[in-house]
Structure 1
Amino acid sequence: MSLDAYRRTQSISATPRATEYRLMSQVTGDMIQARENGLKGAALMRPLHRNREVWSTLAILCGSPGNKLPAMLRASIISLALWVERYTSDVIRQRDSIDALISVNCAIIEGLAMENGSHPPMAENVLPV
């Protein structure tokens, strides 16, 4: 079986929550790795940009007509996405550290893990998948 066929099968069989969990774990793992490597400011652009993209996409999906999540949850996700956008700018300008972004993502990962019935990972053990 080729790698492309495996990826297609995986994307078809994965639940939306499992996909969100995997993506958030990858993005958070990248930010943790950047922090451990001592990256600061503009050197953090790649993992921070990817994190912004994920949160922006989540906000767009939550604002889309037909989204079946409860209204309060959608509003909370959109609010978090707006915060991530603003806070990321402060991290790039070295006004704040990346730690709060990592903490928020880890809380989301834990929530997704509990929703899927699996054991939530420890925040520091989140690694790219």
Structure 2
Amino acid sequence: MSVNAYVRTQKVAATPRSTEFRLMSEVTADMIAARDAGLTGAQLADALHRNRQVWGAFTTLCIDSGNALPHELRAGIISLGLWVDRHTSLVMTGRDTIDELINVNRTVMIGLANENGNPAPVG
């Protein structure tokens, strides 16, 4: 019963930015955990796939002409999404590390935190 109340409260209190922050925090934590577990290349597939899905969703939302974000911000998110897609392929094939993907996500989280009044991500 208390879990249902929590879920209802979260739905009412959640904003798009806070939801984006929480989602980005989760996928970034997954990537950090995978990296810290010593996984490399294709072993990172689960964490990388989820990150790629998130960035794909962000890109799709920014392509929509009804999106209210400023054009320059939308273009920047689309550009980052395309970079994430390319870099993910490099990481999957062992030609680069996951660290830059983690850094990009952390930077986005800092921006989202500043908008929400959330504490900045650590680590």
The verdict on a shared fold, with TM-score over 0.5 as the criterion, is yes
Q: Note the residue ranges of structure 1 that are not aligned, 5 or more in a row.
A: 125-129
Could you tell me how far 1:54 is from its partner in structure 2? Answer: 0.2
Structure 2 equivalent of residue 71 of structure 1: 71
Q: Quick one: higher RCO (CA 8 Å, sep 6+), 1 or 2? A: 1
Task: Name the TM-score, length of structure 1 as normaliser.
Answer: 0.90
For residues 70-93 of structure 1, the C-alpha deviation after alignment (integer angstroms, 9 at most, x for no partner) is 000000000000000010000000
Structure 1 equivalent of residue 18 of structure 2: 18
**Map of 1:1-129 to 2, 5 A cutoff?**
1=1, 3-4=3-4, 6-122=6-122, 124=123
**Change over 3 Å in CA distance of 1:48–1:4 after alignment to 2:** farther
Q: Secondary structure at the match of 2:95?
A: coil
Task: Name the TM-score, length of structure 2 as normaliser.
Answer: 0.94
Could you tell me how far 1:3 is from its partner in structure 2? Answer: 3.2
Q: Secondary structure at the match of 1:69?
A: coil
CA–CA distance in structure 1, aligned partners of residues 65 and 12 of structure 2: 23
Q: How many residues align?
A: 123
Q: How big is the alpha-carbon RMSD for the aligned residues of Structure 1 and Structure 2?
A: 1.2
For residues 37-83 of structure 1, the C-alpha deviation after alignment (integer angstroms, 9 at most, x for no partner) is 00011110000000000000000001112100000000000000000
CA–CA distance in structure 1, aligned partners of residues 120 and 42 of structure 2: 31
Q: Percentage identity across aligned positions? A: 58
Q: Note the residue ranges of structure 2 that are not aligned, 5 or more in a row.
A: none
CA–CA distance in structure 2, aligned partners of residues 4 and 82 of structure 1: 38
